[in-house]
C-alpha cells in the first residue's frame, strides 16, 4: 500500500520508477531515476541538509542516478506523507524538473485504499 502511494507520487512528479515491470515493484522501497543532467547525490544532500531526512543512494551503475524512498518498518500514512513532502520540496529547491502534486497523488491513493467514512 505504501509502495503504491510512493509510486503514485513519483508518477505524478513526472519522474521514472526504476522498476518498470509492475511484477518487480517492491513493497520495501521505491527507486526513482533522476532526470538527465541531475545528480541524485547532490539532491539527497540538499534534502538531508534542509529537512534532516535521509534518502537511499543508488548502488553500482545506478550511483548518482537514482535515489530510494524507503517504505517499510515504523511507518504510517502521515510519516510517508512527510517523506514524500520532503522529496517534493527537495525537487523544487534543487530546480529539478518535475510536476507538482506528487504528495496529493499519494494521499489520494492512501485514502482510496484505507479510509472509510466515520459514522
pLDDT digits (tens), the chain, 119 positions: 999 999 999 999 999 999 989 999 998 999 999 999 999 999 999 999 999 999 999 999 999 999 999 998 889 999 999 999 999 999 999 999 999 999 999 999 999 876 655 55
CB 119 within 8 A of CB 7: no
10 Å Cβ neighbour count for 74? 5
Report the alpha-carbon distance of residue 92 to residue 116 in Å, rounded: 33
Q: Which pLDDT score, from 0 to 100, does residue 65 have?
A: 97
Q: Which pLDDT score, from 0 to 100, does residue 20 have?
A: 87
pTM: 0.91
Report the alpha-carbon distance of residue 48 to residue 113 in Å, rounded: 30
What phi and psi values does residue 28 have, to the nearest 5 degrees? -95, -40
Amino acid at each position: 500500500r505504501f509502495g503504491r502511494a510512493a509510486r503514485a507520487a513519483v508518477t505524478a512528479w513526472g519522474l521514472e520508477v526504476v522498476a518498470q515491470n509492475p511484477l518487480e515493484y517492491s513493497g520495501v522501497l521505491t527507486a526513482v531515476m533522476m532526470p538527465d543532467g541531475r545528480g541524485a547525490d547532490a539532491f539527497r544532500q540538499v534534502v538531508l541538509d534542509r529537512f534532516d531526512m535521509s534518502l537511499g543512494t543508488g548502488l553500482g551503475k545506478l550511483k548518482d542516478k537514482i535515489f530510494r524512498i524507503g517504505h517499510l518498518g515504523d511507518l504510517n500514512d502521515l510519516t510517508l506523507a512527510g517523506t514524500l513532502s520532503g522529496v517534493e520540496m527537495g525537487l523544487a529547491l534543487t530546480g529539478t524538473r518535475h510536476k507538482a502534486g506528487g504528495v496529493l497523488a499519494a494521499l489520494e491513493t492512501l485514502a482510496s485504499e484505507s479510509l472509510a467514512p466515520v459514522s
